[in-house]
Amino acid sequence: MKDKSLPDALSGFKDLSVCFWHSLCTSPLQTFNSTPSSALHCPQLNSTHGKAVFMLCLLSSSPQSGDFKVRQLRAIMLLWLDVGTDINLGLVLLSRQIVARGLLDVLREFSDNENDFISVMETVARMSEDGEPTVRAELMEQVPNIAMFLHESQPNFPAVFSRYLVPIVVRYLTDPNNQVRKTSQAALLVLLEQGLICKGDMETKVCPVLLDLTELSSDDDYKIEAVAIMCKLVTMLSKDTVEHLLLLRFCELCSDARLFQVRKVCAANFGEFCSIVGQDATEKLLMSKFFDLCSDSLWGIRKACAECFMIVSNSTSPGVRRTKLSPLFISLISDQSRWVRQAAFQSLGRFISTFANPSSTGLYFKEDGTLLESPLSIESSMRCSFNGPTERPSHPPINQDGRSTPTLECMSGGDSGSDYTNTPPRDRHEGLECNNNPPTNNEETEQTDENFNSFHYWRPPLPDIKKEEMPHMDDPDAQAQVQVLSAALKAAQQERQSEDTEGQSECFNHSSYSCPSPHPLPQNVIPQQLLDQYLSMTDPARAQTVDTEIAKHCAFSLPGVALTLGQQNWHCLKDTYETLATDVQWKVRRTLAFSIHELAVILGDQLTAADLVPIFNGFLKDLDEVRIGVLKHLYDFLKLLHAEKRREYLYQLQEFMVTDNSRNWRFRYELAEQLILIIELYSHYDVYDYLRQIALTLCSDKVSEVRWISYKLVVEILQKMYACGAHDLGLNFINELIVRFCHCPKWVGRQAFAFICQAIVEEDCMPMDQFAQHLLPSLLSLSSDPVANVRVLVAKALRQSVMEKEPGSAYSDELEETVMALQADKDRDVRFFASQDPNMTLMDTAALI
């Protein structure tokens, strides 16, 4: 029968298809473990063409239930296995693709029975041998989903997956069809990312195939694809597996002289191999290959090397980094190709950051990227150092009156913000003369430490203590602070005494001592050539010859470079930072604005006050695109300033309410979020005088998201009032809330009052008797509000929060009556929230605000 007789054949099978559907609906699923022809005993299905035509009948039907659909797919699958590829019908091909696409549904139906499940898996294995590439590709696309389903539902998943699916994935890696190979590569990566392939299968099935495909005699296309797969696999394999199976082959591929695509893939993924195998293997085996790739004749390969330079540097020792990698990187920066130079300059800051040493910078990054002060930084800040400003804690302790406690430091260099700079230079250097014959016994040392310790000697005379401040001397917190500082000072002195001869020679061993130079000493943290190239990134000529956005890359990496150089070498970057802060491109200034708080942590309080605060003030008056960077980290920056300096910004917070575009509501939303954090930095008087009015203005914003976060800000302000014992200010604020929200003519304001009351109770902002006296009557009055949305939040506040706290006041009876009335409310949502068990999780009503 030819294709043109197909309509007649379909009509001839009409009655048979009806009979078959009836059989599908009434027969158990096990009936179809064999071909449907045996189930129906129909001689018309004995021929290959008859089965194919009957498949078309099945496909033309529309089953009504999911179970029926699964039975249909199962029957088509079994018919298809009998048809094979003997018949060349386009619709039959489509049916095979549909079957492959529906495998997951079939497996879900048959996975409960072990025999059926094995039968289906064997059927899948047979289907993988289909001669049509589109069918094989469709099957491979379903393998990750099938594997995940089996992983979740089958207790013997590893064995089944290893027996049936892994061989299909591995075999398709060498499929002659490009689409099938690409699909199998993607499926393999997904399976690895999900952790579904065991180590044994990786070593015995996947890696051997990749090694075969990357042989010298392998097909070029196969080799290029296999190298890409290999490079992606290393991040998911263990160090031992990579070293044992893939490392030597990767080294060979890096030197592939015939295929530049292979070398390019190796160069792009060189860093991943280095980070996996570690320092020893990198320096012994990979470093020479990296040098060859950096000098490759193709600029694309050299560019790939420049992009991964930082990762390679992290896998080497400091000596190799300084003596070998630094000159190599300089050669890339001066490369003849503009694209290589561009990539090198973009990676320059990251490469410099690999020279950072937490023991010298006093700072380190946590896993989440937060910059913190190293525990050793306090000790190092009290050691004698003649290389520049002394490191100090980024967060000075605050006295009860809000003033910063002076930081103990070794006055060996001149900090611009220090009070000590008022001392004449001659007086400043007296006593710093080196003692060539230090005390040799412990008694002399102890006596010297007692009479001439850092606190007594290396600082200006203490001012007279006023009589009214004398009672603070008995404060337990003040005494504890003195004890902590004294213990830290003593520990630092003991460590300085126990330093080895080499460490002491830097400060005391020279017979001819020269006083600190008024000019900063050159840095020796990183090679000077690297620093010179980095500083040149602000040169306008670089934008013409390298990259128009080179200044932005310089600004992006500047905190990392500053961290590497440390406080003592800030003078190397100060001019560059000021140049970037006044760059004509707002994107450059925006980048600095987003990172100025991190730079403040690195530099410490005095350098921040002297050098960063003026730039910070300039950003506050910049474009909204720049101001948002400052605003997002406003709390992080302000907490690093002294209380007096921090208080100056209270007058400028109101300026954040004005934006270039009034539709930029996210700016106001961010302001509210930052004010919630900033509250803790100021006294309750400042919060009441300055932040309260901003919060109330934000509560009337046109955008509901801004209002919602502002209500939380109002609650935090009220909590601040009562936490500080300022009950009068708190009561004034409550009265203002009642007038502004509870008596608001707009229902949105009245609804906000209910939300604020609930938050006050849940956050324990004030004693419940105070809440019952000042807020509860107004809240109860809203229970009869004509707007249902208001009554919904009133019901939720009363039932979920207020009644759980048991105010125990004169309003208890009225509270119960109000809740009962709300439970009988005409609105369904009001009745729901008034009757709901408080212990149950409820829907979020923020969307109603």
HEC secondary structure over 584-650: CCHHHHHHHHHHHHHHHHHHCHHHHHHHHHHHHHHHHCCCHHHHHHHHHCHHHHHCCCCHHHHHHHH
Q: Are residues 301 and 276 in the same domain?
A: yes
Greatest extent of the chain over all pairs of C-alpha atoms, in Å? 116
Domains contained in the chain, number: 4
Helix axes 571-581, 613-620, angle to 10 degrees: 10
Report the pLDDT value the prediction gives residue 809, as an integer from 0 to 100: 60
Domain range enclosing 803 = 743-849
Q: Are residues 765 and 693 in the same domain?
A: no
With bands split at pLDDT 50, 70 and 90, how would you rate the model's confidence at 351?
A: very high
Token pair for 405: 């406690």
Token pair for 559: 């905190």
Report the pLDDT value the prediction gives residue 88, as an integer from 0 to 100: 41
Lowest-confidence region among 494-508, 616-630, 754-768: 494-508
Give the bridge partners for 60, in sequence order.
none
Q: Are residues 212 and 237 in the same domain?
A: yes
624 neighbors 664 (Cβ within 8 angstroms)? yes
Is pLDDT at 302 greater than 90 in this prediction?
A: yes
* CA quadruple 296, 301, 302, 304: dihedral, nearest 10: -160
Report the pLDDT value the prediction gives residue 199, as an integer from 0 to 100: 79
Residue 223 belongs to domain with CATH number: 1.25.10.10
Q: Are residues 207 and 332 in the same domain?
A: yes
Q: Are residues 258 and 284 in the same domain?
A: yes
Q: Are residues 266 and 227 in the same domain?
A: yes
Q: Are residues 333 and 206 in the same domain?
A: yes
Give the number of other Cβ atoms within 10 Å of residue 156's Cβ. 11
Assigned domain for 373 exists: yes
Is pLDDT at 819 greater than 60 in this prediction?
A: yes
With bands split at pLDDT 50, 70 and 90, how would you rate the model's confidence at 173?
A: confident
Report the pLDDT value the prediction gives residue 562, as an integer from 0 to 100: 94
Residues whose CB is less than 8 angstroms from the CB of residue 751 and which lie 6 or more positions away in sequence, other chains included? 787, 789, 790, 793, 848, 849
Report the pLDDT value the prediction gives residue 705, as an integer from 0 to 100: 93
Report the pLDDT value the prediction gives residue 212, as an integer from 0 to 100: 87
Interval 672-700 mean pLDDT: 94
% of the chain with per-residue pLDDT over 90: 40
Assigned domain for 701 exists: yes
Assigned domain for 651 exists: yes
With bands split at pLDDT 50, 70 and 90, how would you rate the model's confidence at 20?
A: very low
% of the chain with per-residue pLDDT over 70: 66
Interval 92-112 mean pLDDT: 67
Q: What is the pTM of this model?
A: 0.68
What DSSP letter does each residue of 817-834 carry, written as one string? HHHHHHHT-SSHHHHHHH
Interval 469-475 mean pLDDT: 48
User: SS3 letters for 297-334?
Assistant: CCHHHHHHHHHCHHHHHHCCCHHHHHHHHHHHHHHHHC
Lowest-confidence region among 23-32, 227-236, 237-246, 401-410: 401-410
Q: How far is CA 272 from the centre of its chain?
A: 20
Average per-residue pLDDT for the chain: 75
Is pLDDT at 503 greater than 70 in this prediction?
A: no
Give the number of other Cβ atoms within 10 Å of residue 787's Cβ. 14
Q: What CA–CA distance (Å, rounded) separates 695 from 711?
A: 8
Q: Are residues 207 and 330 in the same domain?
A: yes
Assigned domain for 505 exists: no
Identify which has the larger pLDDT, 327 or 145: 327
Report the pLDDT value the prediction gives residue 131, as an integer from 0 to 100: 77
Assigned domain for 473 exists: no
Rg of the chain over Cα atoms, rounded to whole angstroms, equals 37
Q: What CA–CA distance (Å, rounded) separates 733 from 207?
A: 70
Q: Are residues 389 and 530 in the same domain?
A: yes
Assigned domain for 748 exists: yes
Q: Are residues 331 and 367 in the same domain?
A: no
Report the pLDDT value the prediction gives residue 125, as an integer from 0 to 100: 81
Q: What CA–CA distance (Å, rounded) separates 220 from 261?
A: 10
Residues whose CB is less than 8 angstroms from the CB of residue 423 and which lie 6 or more positions away in sequence, other chains included? 460
Q: Are residues 690 and 779 in the same domain?
A: no
Assigned domain for 843 exists: yes
Q: Are residues 230 and 322 in the same domain?
A: yes
Assigned domain for 816 exists: yes
